[in-house]
Chains A and B, each alone.
Chain A
Amino acid sequence: MVCLLTFYEQKRSWFADLNPITKLYFVGVMFLIPFLTDNLLILTSYFLLILALAYSSKIFNRFCNTLTRIILPLLILLFIMQSLLYPGGEKIICQIWFMSVKQEGVIFASTIGLRLLIVIGSILVFLITTHPKDMIMALEQKGVPSAIGYIVLSTMQIIPHMEMMSKRILDAQKSRGVEVEGNIWVRAKAYLPVVVPLILSSIAQLENKVMALECRAFNAPVKKTSMVDFTLTGADRFVRIIVILILVAAVVGRVASLWL
Protein backbone atom coordinates (compact mmCIF):
# COMPACT_ATOMS: atom_id res chain seq x y z
CA MET A 1 0.00 0.00 0.00
CA VAL A 2 1.55 3.28 -1.11
CA CYS A 3 0.94 6.23 1.18
CA LEU A 4 1.55 9.86 0.51
CA LEU A 5 4.62 11.46 1.99
CA THR A 6 2.48 13.93 3.87
CA PHE A 7 1.35 14.74 7.40
CA TYR A 8 -2.10 15.89 6.28
CA GLU A 9 -5.05 14.83 8.42
CA GLN A 10 -8.54 15.49 7.13
CA LYS A 11 -10.18 17.32 10.04
CA ARG A 12 -12.26 20.45 9.73
CA SER A 13 -11.40 23.36 12.02
CA TRP A 14 -11.24 27.14 11.80
CA PHE A 15 -7.50 27.00 11.06
CA ALA A 16 -7.78 24.12 8.53
CA ASP A 17 -10.46 26.08 6.65
CA LEU A 18 -8.22 29.13 6.19
CA ASN A 19 -6.72 29.97 2.79
CA PRO A 20 -3.38 28.09 2.49
CA ILE A 21 -1.65 31.40 1.77
CA THR A 22 -2.90 32.80 5.10
CA LYS A 23 -1.45 29.74 6.81
CA LEU A 24 1.82 30.36 4.96
CA TYR A 25 1.81 33.92 6.36
CA PHE A 26 1.65 32.36 9.82
CA VAL A 27 4.51 29.94 9.06
CA GLY A 28 6.61 32.74 7.59
CA VAL A 29 6.22 34.92 10.69
CA MET A 30 6.90 31.97 12.99
CA PHE A 31 10.08 31.42 11.01
CA LEU A 32 11.26 34.98 11.67
CA ILE A 33 10.21 35.97 15.17
CA PRO A 34 12.11 33.34 17.20
CA PHE A 35 15.32 34.84 15.86
CA LEU A 36 14.37 38.37 16.96
CA THR A 37 14.58 37.57 20.66
CA ASP A 38 16.72 35.61 23.15
CA ASN A 39 14.17 35.96 25.92
CA LEU A 40 13.15 32.48 27.03
CA LEU A 41 9.82 33.70 28.36
CA ILE A 42 8.84 35.24 25.02
CA LEU A 43 10.04 32.17 23.12
CA THR A 44 8.03 29.91 25.44
CA SER A 45 4.93 32.07 24.88
CA TYR A 46 5.36 31.67 21.08
CA PHE A 47 5.55 27.91 21.50
CA LEU A 48 2.49 27.92 23.77
CA LEU A 49 0.66 29.87 21.05
CA ILE A 50 1.46 27.07 18.56
CA LEU A 51 0.31 24.43 21.07
CA ALA A 52 -2.97 26.36 21.56
CA LEU A 53 -3.38 26.54 17.79
CA ALA A 54 -2.85 22.77 17.45
CA TYR A 55 -5.41 22.20 20.21
CA SER A 56 -8.03 24.48 18.67
CA SER A 57 -7.41 22.82 15.26
CA LYS A 58 -8.27 19.42 16.79
CA ILE A 59 -4.86 17.98 15.89
CA PHE A 60 -3.21 18.21 19.32
CA ASN A 61 -2.38 14.50 19.76
CA ARG A 62 -1.14 14.04 16.21
CA PHE A 63 0.87 17.27 16.48
CA CYS A 64 2.52 16.30 19.77
CA ASN A 65 3.32 12.75 18.64
CA THR A 66 4.86 13.87 15.35
CA LEU A 67 6.76 16.76 16.89
CA THR A 68 8.18 14.51 19.60
CA ARG A 69 9.23 11.93 17.04
CA ILE A 70 10.96 14.52 14.86
CA ILE A 71 12.57 16.76 17.43
CA LEU A 72 13.16 14.80 20.64
CA PRO A 73 16.41 13.07 19.57
CA LEU A 74 17.67 16.42 18.29
CA LEU A 75 16.80 18.20 21.55
CA ILE A 76 18.49 15.53 23.69
CA LEU A 77 21.66 15.79 21.62
CA LEU A 78 21.51 19.58 21.72
CA PHE A 79 21.16 19.72 25.52
CA ILE A 80 23.95 17.21 26.13
CA MET A 81 26.37 18.94 23.76
CA GLN A 82 25.63 22.53 24.77
CA SER A 83 25.33 22.06 28.53
CA LEU A 84 28.58 20.11 28.72
CA LEU A 85 30.68 21.69 26.01
CA TYR A 86 29.45 25.31 25.93
CA PRO A 87 32.60 27.44 25.65
CA GLY A 88 33.31 30.11 28.26
CA GLY A 89 30.55 29.20 30.70
CA GLU A 90 31.27 30.05 34.35
CA LYS A 91 28.23 29.09 36.43
CA ILE A 92 28.52 25.36 37.04
CA ILE A 93 25.24 23.64 37.94
CA CYS A 94 26.66 20.16 38.51
CA GLN A 95 29.75 18.07 37.83
CA ILE A 96 29.67 14.77 35.94
CA TRP A 97 33.03 12.99 36.16
CA PHE A 98 35.50 15.41 34.59
CA MET A 99 32.83 17.45 32.76
CA SER A 100 30.62 20.16 34.21
CA VAL A 101 27.12 21.25 33.25
CA LYS A 102 27.15 25.03 32.86
CA GLN A 103 24.14 27.35 33.26
CA GLU A 104 25.05 29.37 30.16
CA GLY A 105 25.11 26.17 28.12
CA VAL A 106 21.69 25.11 29.39
CA ILE A 107 20.23 28.57 28.60
CA PHE A 108 21.77 28.52 25.12
CA ALA A 109 20.44 25.00 24.46
CA SER A 110 16.99 26.08 25.69
CA THR A 111 16.99 29.08 23.35
CA ILE A 112 18.00 27.00 20.33
CA GLY A 113 15.61 24.21 21.33
CA LEU A 114 12.65 26.58 21.68
CA ARG A 115 13.45 28.18 18.33
CA LEU A 116 13.48 24.74 16.72
CA LEU A 117 10.20 23.85 18.40
CA ILE A 118 8.57 27.06 17.15
CA VAL A 119 9.81 26.74 13.56
CA ILE A 120 9.17 23.01 13.17
CA GLY A 121 5.94 23.21 15.18
CA SER A 122 4.47 25.94 12.98
CA ILE A 123 5.39 24.00 9.81
CA LEU A 124 3.82 20.88 11.29
CA VAL A 125 0.54 22.65 12.14
CA PHE A 126 0.48 23.91 8.54
CA LEU A 127 1.22 20.49 7.01
CA ILE A 128 -1.29 18.62 9.20
CA THR A 129 -4.10 21.06 8.43
CA THR A 130 -3.39 21.65 4.71
CA HIS A 131 -4.04 19.20 1.87
CA PRO A 132 -0.87 19.16 -0.29
CA LYS A 133 -2.84 19.74 -3.46
CA ASP A 134 -4.61 22.75 -1.91
CA MET A 135 -1.26 24.23 -1.00
CA ILE A 136 0.11 23.78 -4.53
CA MET A 137 -3.05 25.07 -6.20
CA ALA A 138 -3.12 28.15 -3.96
CA LEU A 139 0.50 28.83 -4.88
CA GLU A 140 -0.25 28.30 -8.56
CA GLN A 141 -3.06 30.82 -8.34
CA LYS A 142 -0.48 33.23 -6.92
CA GLY A 143 1.68 32.74 -10.01
CA VAL A 144 4.03 29.92 -8.98
CA PRO A 145 4.76 27.84 -12.15
CA SER A 146 2.72 24.63 -12.37
CA ALA A 147 5.92 22.64 -13.04
CA ILE A 148 7.17 23.49 -9.52
CA GLY A 149 3.84 22.41 -8.06
CA TYR A 150 4.06 19.19 -10.05
CA ILE A 151 7.56 18.42 -8.77
CA VAL A 152 6.53 18.92 -5.13
CA LEU A 153 3.34 16.89 -5.37
CA SER A 154 4.73 14.03 -7.45
CA THR A 155 7.75 13.71 -5.15
CA MET A 156 5.37 13.27 -2.21
CA GLN A 157 3.87 10.27 -3.98
CA ILE A 158 6.85 8.78 -5.76
CA ILE A 159 9.16 8.40 -2.74
CA PRO A 160 6.85 5.96 -0.88
CA HIS A 161 6.37 4.13 -4.18
CA MET A 162 10.13 3.78 -4.67
CA GLU A 163 10.36 2.38 -1.17
CA MET A 164 7.81 -0.26 -2.14
CA MET A 165 9.67 -0.95 -5.40
CA SER A 166 12.96 -1.48 -3.53
CA LYS A 167 11.22 -4.11 -1.37
CA ARG A 168 10.00 -5.87 -4.54
CA ILE A 169 13.51 -5.82 -6.01
CA LEU A 170 14.86 -7.16 -2.72
CA ASP A 171 12.35 -10.05 -2.87
CA ALA A 172 13.23 -10.71 -6.52
CA GLN A 173 16.95 -10.82 -5.72
CA LYS A 174 16.28 -13.12 -2.77
CA SER A 175 14.40 -15.49 -5.08
CA ARG A 176 17.46 -15.52 -7.37
CA GLY A 177 19.60 -16.60 -4.46
CA VAL A 178 21.23 -13.28 -3.55
CA GLU A 179 21.95 -13.28 0.18
CA VAL A 180 20.47 -10.16 1.75
CA GLU A 181 20.20 -11.20 5.39
CA GLY A 182 23.02 -11.76 7.83
CA ASN A 183 25.89 -9.71 9.21
CA ILE A 184 26.71 -6.17 8.14
CA TRP A 185 29.15 -7.35 5.43
CA VAL A 186 26.48 -9.59 3.80
CA ARG A 187 23.96 -6.71 3.90
CA ALA A 188 26.47 -4.31 2.41
CA LYS A 189 27.11 -6.74 -0.47
CA ALA A 190 23.36 -7.03 -1.09
CA TYR A 191 23.07 -3.24 -1.35
CA LEU A 192 24.36 -3.04 -4.94
CA PRO A 193 22.03 -5.64 -6.54
CA VAL A 194 19.10 -3.72 -5.07
CA VAL A 195 20.14 -0.14 -5.67
CA VAL A 196 21.30 -0.54 -9.29
CA PRO A 197 17.99 -1.99 -10.62
CA LEU A 198 16.08 0.57 -8.53
CA ILE A 199 17.94 3.50 -10.09
CA LEU A 200 17.82 2.08 -13.64
CA SER A 201 14.10 1.27 -13.50
CA SER A 202 13.38 4.71 -12.02
CA ILE A 203 15.22 6.36 -14.91
CA ALA A 204 13.31 4.23 -17.44
CA GLN A 205 10.02 5.10 -15.79
CA LEU A 206 10.93 8.76 -15.77
CA GLU A 207 11.09 8.73 -19.58
CA ASN A 208 7.63 7.15 -19.78
CA LYS A 209 6.33 9.58 -17.18
CA VAL A 210 7.40 12.57 -19.27
CA MET A 211 5.60 11.17 -22.33
CA ALA A 212 2.53 10.30 -20.24
CA LEU A 213 2.41 13.85 -18.88
CA GLU A 214 2.56 15.15 -22.43
CA CYS A 215 -0.44 12.94 -23.20
CA ARG A 216 -2.35 14.55 -20.37
CA ALA A 217 -1.85 17.98 -21.97
CA PHE A 218 0.53 19.16 -19.25
CA ASN A 219 2.30 21.42 -21.74
CA ALA A 220 -0.79 22.34 -23.75
CA PRO A 221 -0.65 25.98 -24.83
CA VAL A 222 -3.88 26.86 -22.96
CA LYS A 223 -4.77 28.31 -19.55
CA LYS A 224 -5.34 25.51 -17.02
CA THR A 225 -8.54 25.20 -15.00
CA SER A 226 -8.25 25.33 -11.23
CA MET A 227 -10.82 23.11 -9.52
CA VAL A 228 -10.72 25.12 -6.28
CA ASP A 229 -11.04 28.89 -5.90
CA PHE A 230 -9.30 30.11 -2.80
CA THR A 231 -11.22 33.17 -1.70
CA LEU A 232 -10.11 35.53 1.05
CA THR A 233 -12.62 35.29 3.91
CA GLY A 234 -13.06 37.58 6.94
CA ALA A 235 -11.23 34.99 9.07
CA ASP A 236 -8.29 35.11 6.62
CA ARG A 237 -8.07 38.88 6.85
CA PHE A 238 -8.28 38.78 10.65
CA VAL A 239 -5.55 36.13 10.97
CA ARG A 240 -3.29 37.97 8.54
CA ILE A 241 -3.65 41.20 10.52
CA ILE A 242 -2.92 39.42 13.83
CA VAL A 243 0.11 37.65 12.34
CA ILE A 244 1.50 40.91 10.92
CA LEU A 245 0.90 42.65 14.26
CA ILE A 246 2.86 39.91 16.04
CA LEU A 247 5.72 40.40 13.56
CA VAL A 248 5.68 44.19 14.00
CA ALA A 249 5.65 43.80 17.79
CA ALA A 250 8.58 41.38 17.62
CA VAL A 251 10.59 43.75 15.38
CA VAL A 252 9.80 46.76 17.61
CA GLY A 253 10.77 44.72 20.67
CA ARG A 254 14.08 43.77 19.04
CA VAL A 255 14.90 47.35 17.99
CA ALA A 256 13.97 48.67 21.45
CA SER A 257 16.19 46.07 23.14
CA LEU A 258 19.12 47.15 20.97
CA TRP A 259 18.59 50.86 21.79
CA LEU A 260 18.10 50.41 25.53
Chain B
Amino acid sequence: MALVELKDLSFKYQLADEFALKRINLKIEEGDFYAIVGANGSGKSSLCYAIRGFIPHFHRGDFSGEVLVADQSNSQRKLGEIGLDVGFVFQNPFSQISGVAMNVYEEVSFGLENLGVAKEMIAHRVEEIMTLLEIEHLRQRNPYNLSGGEQQKVAIASVMVMEPRILILDEPTSQLDPVGTEQVFKAIELMKNRGMTIILVEHKMELISYFANKVAVLKNGELLLDGPIQDVFTSPVFAHSQIKPPVYVEVNSELKKHFDYCCEEVLTHEQCTALLHSLKQRSAIEK
Protein backbone atom coordinates (compact mmCIF):
# COMPACT_ATOMS: atom_id res chain seq x y z
CA MET B 1 0.00 0.00 0.00
CA ALA B 2 1.47 3.39 -1.03
CA LEU B 3 1.93 5.94 1.75
CA VAL B 4 1.86 8.82 -0.74
CA GLU B 5 -0.05 8.63 -3.98
CA LEU B 6 -0.37 11.30 -6.64
CA LYS B 7 -3.21 10.71 -9.09
CA ASP B 8 -3.23 12.70 -12.32
CA LEU B 9 -1.93 15.75 -10.48
CA SER B 10 -1.78 19.00 -12.45
CA PHE B 11 -1.24 22.49 -11.08
CA LYS B 12 -0.78 25.98 -12.49
CA TYR B 13 0.14 28.87 -10.17
CA GLN B 14 -2.04 31.97 -10.25
CA LEU B 15 -0.71 34.46 -12.84
CA ALA B 16 1.56 31.77 -14.36
CA ASP B 17 1.30 30.99 -18.07
CA GLU B 18 2.29 27.33 -17.87
CA PHE B 19 1.43 24.41 -15.67
CA ALA B 20 4.11 23.69 -13.03
CA LEU B 21 2.92 20.08 -12.73
CA LYS B 22 1.36 18.11 -15.58
CA ARG B 23 -0.66 14.92 -15.02
CA ILE B 24 1.71 13.39 -12.47
CA ASN B 25 1.08 9.84 -11.28
CA LEU B 26 3.43 8.61 -8.59
CA LYS B 27 3.35 6.13 -5.70
CA ILE B 28 5.74 6.33 -2.74
CA GLU B 29 5.82 3.30 -0.45
CA GLU B 30 6.30 3.47 3.33
CA GLY B 31 10.03 3.41 4.17
CA ASP B 32 11.17 4.56 0.71
CA PHE B 33 14.05 7.00 0.30
CA TYR B 34 12.72 8.73 -2.81
CA ALA B 35 14.86 11.30 -4.59
CA ILE B 36 13.27 13.90 -6.86
CA VAL B 37 15.60 15.20 -9.54
CA GLY B 38 15.26 17.56 -12.46
CA ALA B 39 16.61 20.76 -13.95
CA ASN B 40 15.72 24.13 -12.40
CA GLY B 41 12.06 24.96 -12.96
CA SER B 42 11.12 21.36 -13.67
CA GLY B 43 8.52 21.31 -10.84
CA LYS B 44 10.44 19.55 -8.05
CA SER B 45 9.49 22.01 -5.31
CA SER B 46 5.90 22.24 -6.57
CA LEU B 47 5.62 18.45 -6.34
CA CYS B 48 6.85 18.57 -2.74
CA TYR B 49 4.43 21.42 -1.92
CA ALA B 50 1.58 19.31 -3.29
CA ILE B 51 2.51 16.35 -1.06
CA ARG B 52 2.75 18.66 2.00
CA GLY B 53 -0.60 20.28 1.08
CA PHE B 54 0.75 23.80 0.44
CA ILE B 55 -0.70 23.22 -3.02
CA PRO B 56 -3.63 23.96 -3.15
CA HIS B 57 -4.18 25.09 0.48
CA PHE B 58 -1.56 27.86 0.50
CA HIS B 59 -0.60 28.41 -3.14
CA ARG B 60 -3.78 28.95 -5.10
CA GLY B 61 -4.18 28.18 -8.77
CA ASP B 62 -5.61 25.67 -11.23
CA PHE B 63 -5.50 22.35 -9.40
CA SER B 64 -6.72 19.00 -10.65
CA GLY B 65 -6.13 15.41 -9.65
CA GLU B 66 -5.60 14.10 -6.15
CA VAL B 67 -2.86 13.77 -3.54
CA LEU B 68 -3.34 10.98 -1.00
CA VAL B 69 -1.18 10.87 2.13
CA ALA B 70 -1.78 7.85 4.36
CA ASP B 71 -4.96 7.12 2.37
CA GLN B 72 -6.43 10.53 3.08
CA SER B 73 -6.89 13.19 0.43
CA ASN B 74 -4.95 16.40 1.13
CA SER B 75 -7.88 18.41 -0.24
CA GLN B 76 -10.10 17.07 2.55
CA ARG B 77 -7.63 17.81 5.36
CA LYS B 78 -6.42 21.04 6.96
CA LEU B 79 -2.75 22.04 6.64
CA GLY B 80 -2.22 21.55 10.37
CA GLU B 81 -3.54 17.98 10.16
CA ILE B 82 -1.33 17.11 7.17
CA GLY B 83 1.60 18.48 9.18
CA LEU B 84 1.15 15.71 11.74
CA ASP B 85 2.15 13.22 9.00
CA VAL B 86 4.47 15.24 6.79
CA GLY B 87 7.58 17.22 7.82
CA PHE B 88 9.16 19.71 5.43
CA VAL B 89 12.63 21.29 5.25
CA PHE B 90 12.92 24.26 2.89
CA GLN B 91 15.83 25.29 0.75
CA ASN B 92 16.24 28.70 2.38
CA PRO B 93 17.26 28.19 6.00
CA PHE B 94 16.68 31.79 7.06
CA SER B 95 12.94 31.76 6.41
CA GLN B 96 12.61 28.59 8.50
CA ILE B 97 13.72 30.24 11.72
CA SER B 98 10.67 30.45 13.93
CA GLY B 99 11.51 33.94 15.17
CA VAL B 100 10.39 33.17 18.71
CA ALA B 101 13.35 31.18 20.00
CA MET B 102 16.13 32.96 21.83
CA ASN B 103 18.64 30.19 21.17
CA VAL B 104 19.15 27.04 19.07
CA TYR B 105 17.92 24.70 21.80
CA GLU B 106 14.59 26.56 21.98
CA GLU B 107 14.44 26.65 18.17
CA VAL B 108 14.79 22.87 17.88
CA SER B 109 12.25 22.23 20.64
CA PHE B 110 9.66 24.68 19.19
CA GLY B 111 7.98 22.11 16.94
CA LEU B 112 7.76 19.53 19.72
CA GLU B 113 6.15 22.09 22.05
CA ASN B 114 3.56 22.76 19.33
CA LEU B 115 2.92 19.02 19.03
CA GLY B 116 2.24 18.79 22.76
CA VAL B 117 5.07 16.31 23.41
CA ALA B 118 5.86 15.76 27.11
CA LYS B 119 8.63 17.95 28.56
CA GLU B 120 10.98 15.07 29.43
CA MET B 121 10.59 13.60 25.94
CA ILE B 122 11.29 17.03 24.37
CA ALA B 123 14.60 17.27 26.26
CA HIS B 124 15.57 13.73 25.23
CA ARG B 125 14.70 14.14 21.55
CA VAL B 126 16.31 17.57 21.23
CA GLU B 127 19.58 16.34 22.77
CA GLU B 128 19.56 13.30 20.49
CA ILE B 129 19.05 15.22 17.25
CA MET B 130 21.56 17.92 18.22
CA THR B 131 24.18 15.25 18.82
CA LEU B 132 23.31 13.51 15.57
CA LEU B 133 23.74 16.67 13.49
CA GLU B 134 26.67 17.89 15.61
CA ILE B 135 25.13 21.20 16.57
CA GLU B 136 25.43 20.91 20.36
CA HIS B 137 28.00 23.71 20.42
CA LEU B 138 25.39 26.08 18.94
CA ARG B 139 22.89 25.45 21.73
CA GLN B 140 23.08 28.92 23.31
CA ARG B 141 23.49 30.89 20.05
CA ASN B 142 20.70 33.02 18.61
CA PRO B 143 19.47 31.29 15.40
CA TYR B 144 19.60 34.59 13.50
CA ASN B 145 23.30 34.94 14.26
CA LEU B 146 24.35 31.62 12.70
CA SER B 147 25.99 31.15 9.31
CA GLY B 148 23.87 29.84 6.40
CA GLY B 149 25.19 26.30 6.82
CA GLU B 150 24.60 26.31 10.58
CA GLN B 151 21.09 27.67 10.07
CA GLN B 152 20.41 24.91 7.54
CA LYS B 153 21.50 22.22 9.99
CA VAL B 154 19.36 23.77 12.74
CA ALA B 155 16.39 23.89 10.34
CA ILE B 156 16.87 20.21 9.45
CA ALA B 157 17.20 19.27 13.13
CA SER B 158 14.07 21.29 13.99
CA VAL B 159 11.95 19.26 11.55
CA MET B 160 13.64 15.86 12.03
CA VAL B 161 13.13 16.08 15.78
CA MET B 162 9.38 16.07 15.20
CA GLU B 163 9.72 12.57 13.71
CA PRO B 164 7.02 12.80 11.05
CA ARG B 165 6.06 9.67 9.07
CA ILE B 166 7.14 11.40 5.86
CA LEU B 167 10.06 13.81 5.71
CA ILE B 168 10.38 16.07 2.66
CA LEU B 169 13.68 17.87 2.19
CA ASP B 170 13.91 20.48 -0.58
CA GLU B 171 17.61 20.86 -1.42
CA PRO B 172 18.64 20.72 2.24
CA THR B 173 22.37 20.74 1.58
CA SER B 174 22.50 23.72 -0.79
CA GLN B 175 24.32 25.85 1.80
CA LEU B 176 26.48 23.13 3.33
CA ASP B 177 30.11 22.20 2.81
CA PRO B 178 30.98 18.56 1.93
CA VAL B 179 31.42 17.55 5.58
CA GLY B 180 28.09 19.13 6.56
CA THR B 181 26.41 17.52 3.55
CA GLU B 182 27.63 14.10 4.58
CA GLN B 183 26.44 14.63 8.17
CA VAL B 184 23.00 15.57 6.91
CA PHE B 185 22.80 12.55 4.59
CA LYS B 186 23.84 10.25 7.43
CA ALA B 187 21.17 11.77 9.65
CA ILE B 188 18.60 11.29 6.86
CA GLU B 189 19.69 7.69 6.46
CA LEU B 190 19.29 7.13 10.18
CA MET B 191 15.75 8.51 9.99
CA LYS B 192 15.06 6.16 7.09
CA ASN B 193 16.37 3.23 9.11
CA ARG B 194 13.90 4.18 11.84
CA GLY B 195 11.11 3.71 9.30
CA MET B 196 10.63 7.29 8.16
CA THR B 197 9.72 7.78 4.49
CA ILE B 198 12.11 10.27 2.90
CA ILE B 199 11.40 12.48 -0.12
CA LEU B 200 14.49 14.41 -1.11
CA VAL B 201 15.03 17.06 -3.76
CA GLU B 202 18.73 17.19 -4.51
CA HIS B 203 21.21 17.86 -7.32
CA LYS B 204 24.12 15.87 -5.91
CA MET B 205 23.70 12.71 -7.99
CA GLU B 206 26.50 10.73 -6.32
CA LEU B 207 24.89 11.11 -2.93
CA ILE B 208 21.45 10.30 -4.32
CA SER B 209 22.72 7.15 -5.97
CA TYR B 210 24.44 6.14 -2.74
CA PHE B 211 21.63 6.82 -0.24
CA ALA B 212 18.27 6.77 -2.08
CA ASN B 213 16.56 3.61 -3.29
CA LYS B 214 14.15 5.20 -5.76
CA VAL B 215 14.17 8.28 -7.93
CA ALA B 216 11.66 10.36 -9.87
CA VAL B 217 12.89 12.51 -12.76
CA LEU B 218 10.93 15.62 -13.69
CA LYS B 219 11.18 17.67 -16.84
CA ASN B 220 9.08 20.77 -17.53
CA GLY B 221 6.50 19.68 -14.96
CA GLU B 222 6.15 16.17 -16.36
CA LEU B 223 7.25 12.94 -14.73
CA LEU B 224 9.82 11.60 -17.15
CA LEU B 225 10.85 8.49 -15.24
CA ASP B 226 10.48 6.91 -11.83
CA GLY B 227 11.57 3.72 -10.15
CA PRO B 228 14.61 2.08 -8.55
CA ILE B 229 17.84 4.08 -8.81
CA GLN B 230 19.68 1.61 -11.09
CA ASP B 231 16.79 1.30 -13.56
CA VAL B 232 16.25 5.04 -13.85
CA PHE B 233 19.88 6.12 -14.20
CA THR B 234 20.66 3.45 -16.79
CA SER B 235 17.47 4.02 -18.78
CA PRO B 236 17.95 5.53 -22.28
CA VAL B 237 15.12 7.98 -21.48
CA PHE B 238 17.25 9.49 -18.68
CA ALA B 239 19.53 11.01 -21.32
CA HIS B 240 16.66 13.40 -22.23
CA SER B 241 16.37 14.71 -18.68
CA GLN B 242 19.11 17.40 -18.99
CA ILE B 243 20.71 15.98 -15.83
CA LYS B 244 24.22 14.64 -15.58
CA PRO B 245 24.02 11.05 -14.29
CA PRO B 246 26.13 9.87 -11.34
CA VAL B 247 29.72 9.12 -12.24
CA TYR B 248 29.30 5.36 -11.78
CA VAL B 249 26.81 5.24 -14.68
CA GLU B 250 29.36 6.80 -17.00
CA VAL B 251 32.08 4.56 -15.57
CA ASN B 252 29.91 1.50 -16.16
CA SER B 253 29.36 2.39 -19.80
CA GLU B 254 33.13 2.85 -20.19
CA LEU B 255 33.73 -0.48 -18.45
CA LYS B 256 31.33 -2.21 -20.83
CA LYS B 257 32.93 -0.55 -23.82
CA HIS B 258 36.57 -1.26 -22.96
CA PHE B 259 36.65 -4.25 -20.59
CA ASP B 260 33.27 -5.92 -21.18
CA TYR B 261 32.74 -5.63 -17.42
CA CYS B 262 29.66 -4.38 -15.58
CA CYS B 263 29.54 -3.36 -11.94
CA GLU B 264 26.07 -3.74 -10.38
CA GLU B 265 26.91 -1.81 -7.24
CA VAL B 266 26.59 1.92 -6.73
CA LEU B 267 30.11 3.25 -6.44
CA THR B 268 31.61 6.41 -5.07
CA HIS B 269 33.98 8.51 -7.13
CA GLU B 270 37.03 7.07 -5.31
CA GLN B 271 35.79 3.49 -5.70
CA CYS B 272 35.26 4.01 -9.43
CA THR B 273 38.78 5.38 -9.83
CA ALA B 274 40.23 2.43 -7.90
CA LEU B 275 38.21 -0.09 -9.95
CA LEU B 276 39.27 1.43 -13.27
CA HIS B 277 42.87 1.45 -12.12
CA SER B 278 42.79 -2.24 -11.12
CA LEU B 279 41.04 -3.22 -14.37
CA LYS B 280 43.62 -1.34 -16.41
CA GLN B 281 46.40 -3.14 -14.56
CA ARG B 282 44.70 -6.51 -15.10
CA SER B 283 44.24 -5.77 -18.79
CA ALA B 284 47.90 -4.78 -19.12
CA ILE B 285 49.03 -8.02 -17.42
CA GLU B 286 46.75 -10.12 -19.67
CA LYS B 287 48.20 -8.44 -22.75
Bound pair (A, B): yes
> Which A residues have a C-beta under 8 Å from some C-beta of B?
1-2, 4, 131-133, 136, 149-150, 153-154, 157-158, 161, 205, 208-227
23 chain-A/chain-B pairs, Cβ below 8 angstroms: A1-B145, A2-B145, A4-B102, A132-B102, A154-B99, A157-B99, A210-B58, A211-B54, A212-B95, A212-B97, A214-B58, A214-B83, A215-B87, A216-B110, A216-B158, A217-B84, A217-B162, A219-B83, A222-B114, A225-B112, A227-B109, A227-B113, A227-B122
Q: Does B92 contact A (CB under 8 A)?
A: yes
Q: Does B33 contact A (CB under 8 A)?
A: no
Q: Is the CB of B122 within 8 A of A217?
A: no
Cβ of B101 to closest chain A Cβ, rounded Å: 8
Residues of A within 8 A of B87 (CB): 215
Q: Is the CB of A217 within 8 A of B145?
A: no
Q: Is the CB of A220 within 8 A of B80?
A: yes
Using an 8 Å CB-CB cutoff, how does the interface string of B105-146 with A read, 1 for contact, 0 for none? 010011111111111001000000000000000000010110
Q: Is the CB of B83 within 8 A of A227?
A: no
Q: Does B81 contact A (CB under 8 A)?
A: yes
Q: Is the CB of B119 within 8 A of A214?
A: no
Cβ of A100 to closest chain B Cβ, rounded Å: 54
Q: Given the known inter-chain contacts A133-B100, A217-B83, please indicate yes or no for A157 contacting B144, CB distance below 8 A.
A: yes
Q: Is the CB of A215 within 8 A of B83?
A: yes
Report which residue of A161, A215, A218 has the largest number of chain B beta carbons within 10 angstroms of its beta carbon. A215
Q: Given the known inter-chain contacts A150-B100, A219-B79, please indicate yes or no for A225 contacting B122, CB distance below 8 A.
A: yes
Residues of B within 8 A of A214 (CB): 54, 58, 79-80, 83
Q: Does B68 contact A (CB under 8 A)?
A: no
Residue of B nearest to A154 (CB): B99
Residues of A within 8 A of B34 (CB): none
Q: Is the CB of B109 within 8 A of A220?
A: no
CA distance A216 to B155 in the complex (A): 10
Residue of B nearest to A215 (CB): B88
Report which residue of A150, A161, A212, A213 has the largest number of chain B beta carbons within 10 angstroms of its beta carbon. A212
Q: Given the known inter-chain contacts A217-B80, A217-B162, please indicate yes or no for A133 contacting B102, CB distance below 8 A.
A: yes
> Which B residues have a C-beta under 8 Å from some C-beta of A?
52, 54, 58, 78-81, 83-84, 87-90, 92, 94-100, 102, 106, 109-119, 122, 142, 144-145, 158-159, 162
Q: Is the CB of B118 within 8 A of A225?
A: yes
Residue of B nearest to A213 (CB): B98
Residue of A nearest to B114 (CB): A217
Q: Given the known inter-chain contacts A214-B80, A224-B114, please indicate yes or no for A209 contacting B99, CB distance below 8 A.
A: yes
Residues of A within 8 A of B117 (CB): 225
Residues of A within 8 A of B94 (CB): 205
Report which residue of A205, A223, A227 has the largest number of chain B beta carbons within 10 angstroms of its beta carbon. A227
Residue of A nearest to B97 (CB): A212
Q: Is the CB of B118 within 8 A of A212?
A: no
Residues of B within 8 A of A210 (CB): 58
| Of the residues A157, A209, A220, A226, contact of B83 by C-beta under 8 Å | A220
CA distance A136 to B101 in the complex (A): 12
Residues of A within 8 A of B80 (CB): 214, 217-221
| Of the residues B58, B79, B84, B114, contact of A216 by C-beta under 8 Å | B114
Residues of B within 8 A of A222 (CB): 114-116
Cβ of A65 to closest chain B Cβ, rounded Å: 23
Residues of B within 8 A of A209 (CB): 95, 99
Residues of B within 8 A of A216 (CB): 98, 110-111, 114, 158-159, 162
Cβ of A163 to closest chain B Cβ, rounded Å: 12
Residues of A within 8 A of B119 (CB): 225, 227
CA distance A227 to B98 in the complex (A): 16
Residue of A nearest to B110 (CB): A216
Cβ of A190 to closest chain B Cβ, rounded Å: 25
Residue of A nearest to B79 (CB): A214
Residue of A nearest to B118 (CB): A225
Report which residue of B79, B95, B158 has the largest number of chain A beta carbons within 10 angstroms of its beta carbon. B95
Cβ of B8 to closest chain A Cβ, rounded Å: 25
CA distance A258 to B143 in the complex (A): 56
Q: Is the CB of B113 within 8 A of A225?
A: yes
Residue of B nearest to A209 (CB): B95
Residues of B within 8 A of A153 (CB): 99-100
Closest 3 CB pairs of A and B: A154-B99, A208-B95, A219-B80
Residues of B within 8 A of A212 (CB): 90, 95-98
Residue of B nearest to A220 (CB): B80
Residue of B nearest to A157 (CB): B99
Residues of A within 8 A of B98 (CB): 154, 212-213, 216
CA distance A213 to B107 in the complex (A): 12
Residue of A nearest to B113 (CB): A225
Report which residue of B81, B142, B144, B158 has the largest number of chain A beta carbons within 10 angstroms of its beta carbon. B144
Q: Given the known inter-chain contacts A161-B144, A208-B95, please indicate yes or no for A226 contacting B113, CB distance below 8 A.
A: yes
Q: Is the CB of A217 within 8 A of B115?
A: yes
Residues of A within 8 A of B90 (CB): 208, 211-212, 215
